[in-house]
């Protein structure tokens, strides 16, 4: 689909061409082309059942693709069993061997490849994940976070071309998860191995990955750098699944230079043409999107102070929740029943309480346009995980 | 409950005491039937047999306790071949059960899919028929000149087993092989069930993890599956070996006088010769021998932290 970057050394590239997986009548993964460049931290993001884990398992060799080819570097590994592939997996539930101690768990891969003197390597690896002291304990004697680090060490010690991580942080509590995200990112930078990380946590994907592929119903919806995906979603699913988006249905009125002028609820909105992924024929429908934190809120009495050239929408505050760093407003507007606005708590206007009439305004540069033929709510339910 | 100022809420407190008291005794009350059962049907008979084993006298004049411990030495000296034979037969049957049962338990646990319950029922189905009848059926199966013996004969299997001393000529019935076959058949479910239970508990992802870490399927079995199934192997072998070592029905129905096991000796001492002290002494020797073997075995297999 999209080749992100190309570096000279491509032995750690993962290249999927036309890969798909069907179970009976159910298609878990639709034919998919994907290239993960050597040394990158790549995240497959999506709700449960979107095919991300199946894709990962096909790379690992744990699942046989119905069609298509898996390349590692220039080698076609589609028909190779897992034990012959130079990739290792960190499993969702860690899958540590309960009958072996931590040292032997980490040494497992080395021993299977017939390496005799494993002591030094295992000790170094346990140091890297800060578990040197625990070498002779059994997995069940460790905490969740420690087990997770053993799972990473056990995979990394083999110096795989690609490390696959299947929701490795799902079982940890929030604080530990944040800590392990930074830890994994540090390790990845240190060892320089290609990481393919599967997660349903959009924040996790955006924090850790260089490139994120958002998957939905067995297809990649969009692929790109986290900031790019967030600022320029191409589908309603991506717009709603990554953070929150306000989507306003509008009609194309005219084009002026590099901007498109749209009509929405009697008002006019301006959208840069470059940020619109929908066909724009005059009179056609477009979904105008804007992120809640990009919107400023001004009381209706002060509407005259709003600078020219900003997109405006009027409305009434339906609800306000104080979060600490910000206040989250829900605005009832003629163009859209529930608009979200996040306002930083810098100078709080005491008049902005539920029931107040307000004007929402934002810079046209922060506006994006989506094809109105899509389901406007796609990706919203799953977003809360 | 937490109210301090008002008096009425305190009222339920005294009412709470009796159930608490009853609660303290409930575990013991629940234990009582089991303890009574053990006392009447295990502890008392044991004491009674122990005393019998050190008595002397005759059936006509009655027996009395004379602390005649040499009964044990005499019994051991006279019947050690039967003891050894019991250990050998029971050991062979246990190994055969393990070799036959393991693949089947593995199949049921990992490969059977929707057939799992059906196969489990087939494993247990023989229990619906009497032990005795099933053993008698083997008499027909292994009958002289029957299809099984005929087939084994024409495949020259019997030549090999004769050479090993397990069969005699072209007969299978009344040979050690027949007894071991009967024991294996009768105790196979006791091997399969614990094996299945411990195999079924193994997380399938461990197999995937082993494969992912460069272990070939055979290595995965050797390094992951088998070690993790050790609790099942140990309990299966114990459940097979212990009753097989004391069994006398198979040796009686399928064997001959040359295949008498210690169970047959004890049975005839008790019921035919009516030499109670010797019979009791033999029972105790068998019990202690098994106890020692089992202890050594469990120590050796080192499964404490897995069970």
Helices B262-271/B70-106 angle, 10° precision:
130
DSSP three-state, residue A79: coil
Per-residue pLDDT tens digits for A14-53: 999 999 999 999 999 999 999 999 999 999 999 988 999 9
What's the DSSP call for residue A236?
A: H
Is residue B2 within a helix (H) or strand (E), and if so which, with residue range?
none
Provide the shortest C-alpha distance from residue B97 to chain A (in Å). 25
Residue A206 CB neighbours (<10 A): 18
Instruction: In whole angstroms, give the CA distance from residue A346 to residue A325.
Output: 9
B219, closest residue in chain A (CA to CA):
A112
* Contact predicate B202/B221, CB 8 Å: no
The residues pairing with A223 across neighbouring beta strands, listed in sequence order, are: A213
pLDDT in the model for residue A225: 95
Instruction: Name chain B contacts of A138, Cβ cutoff 8 Å.
Output: 305
Binning pLDDT at 50, 70 and 90, where does residue A384 land?
Answer: very low
Is residue A64 within a helix (H) or strand (E), and if so which, with residue range?
none
DSSP three-state, residue B23: helix
Provide the shortest C-alpha distance from residue A371 to chain B (in Å). 42
CA distances from B209 to A88, B213, B287 (A): 9, 6, 44
Per-residue pLDDT tens digits for B16-40: 455 556 678 888 899 999 999 999 9
- Cβ-nearest to A60 among B212, B219, B223: B212
* Contact predicate A204/A177, CB 8 Å: yes
Binning pLDDT at 50, 70 and 90, where does residue B59 land?
Answer: confident
% of chain A exceeding 90 in pLDDT:
63
* Contact predicate B232/B105, CB 8 Å: yes
- Work out whether the CA dihedral A189, A191, A194, A195 comes out positive or negative: negative
Instruction: In whole angstroms, give the CA distance from residue A347 to residue A369.
Output: 31
What's the DSSP call for residue B221?
A: I
Domain B80-301, CATH homologous superfamily name and number: MetI-like (1.10.3720.10)
Across the interface, do B212 and A99 touch by the CB < 8 Å criterion? Answer: no
| The residue to which tokens 């790109």 are assigned | A224
Instruction: Name chain A contacts of B228, Cβ cutoff 8 Å.
Output: 98-99
Structure tokens at A324: 């600490």
Helix spans in A51-173 (H): 52-60, 102-112, 119-128, 144-156
Q: What is the mean pLDDT of chain B?
A: 88
The residues pairing with B63 across neighbouring beta strands, listed in sequence order, are: B57
pLDDT in the model for residue A380: 78
Lowest mean pLDDT, pick from A4-18, B87-101, B205-219: A4-18
CA distances from B74 to A243, B32, B69, B85, B280 (A): 88, 40, 9, 18, 13
pLDDT in the model for residue B266: 94
Binning pLDDT at 50, 70 and 90, where does residue B2 land?
Answer: very low
Above 80 in pLDDT, residue A105? Answer: yes
CA distances from A273 to A225, A230, A284, A367 (A): 21, 18, 14, 10
| The residue to which tokens 């939905």 are assigned | A216
Task: Output the pTM of the full model.
Answer: 0.81
Pairwise pLDDT comparison (A1 vs A162), residue with the higher score? A162
- Cβ-nearest to B227 among A89, A99, A108: A99
Per-residue pLDDT tens digits for B242-293: 999 999 999 999 999 899 999 999 999 999 988 999 999 999 999 999 999 9
Instruction: In whole angstroms, give the CA distance from residue A91 to residue A167.
Output: 7
Pairwise pLDDT comparison (A144 vs B301), residue with the higher score? A144
Pairwise pLDDT comparison (B165 vs B217), residue with the higher score? B217
Above 60 in pLDDT, residue A205? Answer: yes
Residue B183 CB neighbours (<10 A): 29
Interface of B with A (CB under 8 A): 203, 205-206, 208-216, 219, 223-224, 227-228, 305-306
pLDDT in the model for residue B132: 92
Please state the φ and ψ torsions of residue B210, each to the nearest 5 degrees.
-65, -45
Binning pLDDT at 50, 70 and 90, where does residue A237 land?
Answer: very high
* Contact predicate A123/A135, CB 8 Å: yes
- Cβ-nearest to A81 among B205, B211, B305: B211
Above 60 in pLDDT, residue B12? Answer: no
Question: Average pLDDT for residues A3-24, to the nearest whole number?
Answer: 75
Structure tokens at A76: 């076609």
Residue A29 CB neighbours (<10 A): 28
Above 90 in pLDDT, residue B164? Answer: no
CB contacts < 8 A, A to B, total 61
Structural domains of chain A in order of their starting residue, each with its CATH number: 14-236 (3.40.50.300), 245-384 (2.40.50.100)
Instruction: Name chain A contacts of B212, Cβ cutoff 8 Å.
Output: 60-62, 82-83, 87-89, 155
Across the interface, do B214 and A112 touch by the CB < 8 Å criterion? Answer: yes
Structure tokens at B153: 């004969």
Instruction: In whole angstroms, give the CA distance from residue B174 to residue B178.
Output: 6
Question: Average pLDDT for residues B228-240, to the nearest whole number?
Answer: 94
Binning pLDDT at 50, 70 and 90, where does residue A264 land?
Answer: confident
Question: Average pLDDT for residues A205-215, to the nearest whole number?
Answer: 93
Question: Average pLDDT for residues A292-321, to the nearest whole number?
Answer: 91
% of chain A exceeding 70 in pLDDT:
96
Distance of CA B182 to the CA centre of its chain: 14
Per-residue pLDDT tens digits for A356-379: 999 999 999 999 999 888 888 888
Instruction: Name chain A contacts of B199, Cβ cutoff 8 Å.
Output: none
Binning pLDDT at 50, 70 and 90, where does residue B304 land?
Answer: low
Across the interface, do A83 and B209 touch by the CB < 8 Å criterion? Answer: no
Above 90 in pLDDT, residue A10? Answer: no
- Cβ-nearest to A95 among B206, B215, B228: B206
Above 90 in pLDDT, residue A69? Answer: yes
Above 80 in pLDDT, residue A5? Answer: no
Give the mutation candidate from B203, B211, B212 for the A interface (greatest A CB count, under 10 A): B212
Closest alpha carbon to A90 in A110, A114, A106: A106
Instruction: Name chain A contacts of B219, Cβ cutoff 8 Å.
Output: 112
Is residue B94 within a helix (H) or strand (E), and if so which, with residue range?
helix B70-106
Pairwise pLDDT comparison (B260 vs A3), residue with the higher score? B260
Pairwise pLDDT comparison (B8 vs A288), residue with the higher score? A288
Across the interface, do A112 and B213 touch by the CB < 8 Å criterion? Answer: yes
Pairwise pLDDT comparison (B60 vs A245), residue with the higher score? A245
Closest alpha carbon to B93 in B210, B8, B176: B176
pLDDT in the model for residue A277: 85
Per-residue pLDDT tens digits for A315-337: 999 999 998 899 999 999 988 88
Instruction: Name chain B contacts of A89, Cβ cutoff 8 Å.
Output: 208-209, 212
Structure tokens at B135: 């053993």
pLDDT in the model for residue B4: 46
DSSP string across B53-76? HTEEEETTTEEEE---THHHHHHH
Closest alpha carbon to A103 in A118, A114, A83: A118
- Work out whether the CA dihedral B249, B253, B256, B259 comes out positive or negative: negative
pLDDT in the model for residue A191: 86
Domain boundaries, chain B: 80-301
Instruction: In whole angstroms, give the CA distance from residue B165 to residue B71.
Output: 32
ipTM of this predicted structure: 0.81
Instruction: Name chain B contacts of A83, Cβ cutoff 8 Å.
Output: 211-216
Q: What is the mean pLDDT of chain A?
A: 89
Instruction: Name chain B contacts of A88, Cβ cutoff 8 Å.
Output: 212-213
Per-residue pLDDT tens digits for A151-201: 999 999 999 999 999 998 887 888 888 888 988 898 898 888 999 999 999
State the number of CA atoms in the 13 A half-sphere of B68 facing the CB: 18
């Amino acid at each position: 689909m999209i080749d992100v970057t190309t570096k000279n050394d491509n032995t750690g590239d993962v290249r999927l061409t036309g890969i798909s997986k069907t179970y009976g009548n159910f298609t878990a993964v639709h034919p998919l082309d994907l290239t993960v460049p050597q040394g990158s931290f790549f995240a497959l993001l999506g709700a449960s059942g979107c095919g991300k884990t199946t894709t990962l398992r096909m790379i690992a060799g744990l699942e046989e693709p119905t069609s298509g080819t898996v390349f590692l570097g220039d080698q076609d590994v589609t028909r190779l069993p897992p034990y012959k592939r130079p990739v290792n997996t960190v499993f969702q539930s860690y899958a540590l061997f309960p009958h072996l101690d931590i040292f032997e768990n980490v040494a497992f891969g080395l021993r299977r490849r017939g390496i005799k003197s494993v002591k030094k390597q295992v000790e170094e690896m346990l140091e890297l994940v800060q578990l040197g002291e625990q070498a002779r304990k059994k997995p069940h004697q460790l905490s969740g976070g420690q087990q997770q680090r053993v799972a990473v060490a056990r995979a990394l010690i083999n110096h795989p071309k690609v490390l696959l991580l299947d929701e490795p942080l799902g079982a940890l509590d929030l604080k530990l998860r944040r800590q392990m995200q930074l830890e994994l990112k540090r390790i990845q930078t240190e060892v320089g191995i290609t990481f393919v990380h599967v997660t349903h946590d959009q924040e996790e994907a955006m924090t850790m990955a260089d490139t994120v592929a958002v998957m939905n119903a067995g297809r990649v919806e969009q692929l790109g750098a986290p900031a790019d995906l967030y600022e320029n979603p191409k589908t309603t699913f991506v717009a709603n699944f990554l953070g929150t988006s306000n989507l306003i249905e509008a009609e194309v009125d005219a084009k002026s230079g590099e901007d498109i002028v749209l009509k929405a609820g009697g008002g006019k909105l301006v959208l840069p043409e470059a940020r619109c992924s929908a066909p724009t024929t005059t009179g056609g429908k477009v979904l105008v999107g804007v992120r809640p934190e990009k919107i400023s809120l001004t009381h209706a009495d002060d509407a005259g102070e709003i600078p020219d050239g900003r997109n405006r929408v009027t409305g009434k505050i339906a609800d306000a929740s104080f979060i600490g760093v910000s206040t989250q407003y829900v605005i009832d507007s003629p163009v859209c029943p529930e608009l979200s606005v996040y306002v930083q708590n810098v100078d709080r206007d005491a008049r902005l309480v539920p029931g107040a009439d307000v004007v929402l305004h934002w810079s046209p540069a922060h506006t994006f346009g989506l094809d109105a033929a899509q389901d406007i709510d796609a990706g919203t339910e799953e977003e809360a995980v | 409950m937490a109210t301090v100022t008002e008096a009425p809420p305190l009222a339920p407190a005294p009412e709470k005491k009796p159930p608490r008291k009853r609660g303290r005794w409930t575990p013991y009350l629940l234990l009582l039937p089991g303890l009574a059962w053990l006392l009447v049907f295990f502890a008392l008979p044991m004491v009674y047999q122990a005393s019998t084993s050190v008595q002397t006298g005759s059936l006509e004049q009655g027996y009395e306790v004379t602390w005649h411990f040499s009964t044990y030495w005499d019994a051991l000296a006279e019947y050690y071949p039967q003891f050894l034979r019991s250990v050998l037969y029971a050991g062979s049957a246990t190994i055969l059960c393990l070799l036959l049962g393991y693949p089947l338990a593995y199949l049921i646990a990992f490969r059977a899919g929707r057939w799992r319950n059906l196969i489990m029922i087939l494993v247990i189905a023989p229990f619906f028929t009497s032990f005795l009848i099933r053993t008698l059926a083997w008499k027909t199966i292994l009958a002289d000149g029957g299809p099984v013996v005929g087939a084994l004969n024409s495949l020259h299997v019997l030549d090999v087993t004769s050479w090993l001393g397990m069969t005699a000529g072209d007969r299978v019935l009344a040979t050690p092989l027949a007894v071991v076959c009967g024991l294996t058949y009768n105790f196979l479910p006791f091997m399969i069930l614990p094996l299945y239970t411990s195999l079924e508990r193994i997380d399938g992802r461990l197999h995937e993890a082993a494969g992912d870490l460069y272990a070939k399927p055979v290595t995965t079995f050797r390094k992951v599956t088998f070690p993790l199934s050790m609790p099942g192997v140990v309990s299966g072998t114990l459940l097979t070996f212990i009753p097989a070592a004391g069994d006398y029905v198979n040796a009686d129905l399928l064997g001959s006088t040359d295949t008498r096991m210690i169970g047959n000796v004890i049975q005839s001492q008790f019921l035919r010769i009516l030499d109670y002290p010797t019979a009791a002494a033999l029972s105790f020797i068998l019990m202690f021998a098994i106890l020692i073997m089992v202890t050594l075995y469990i120590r050796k297999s080192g499964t404490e932290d897995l069970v």
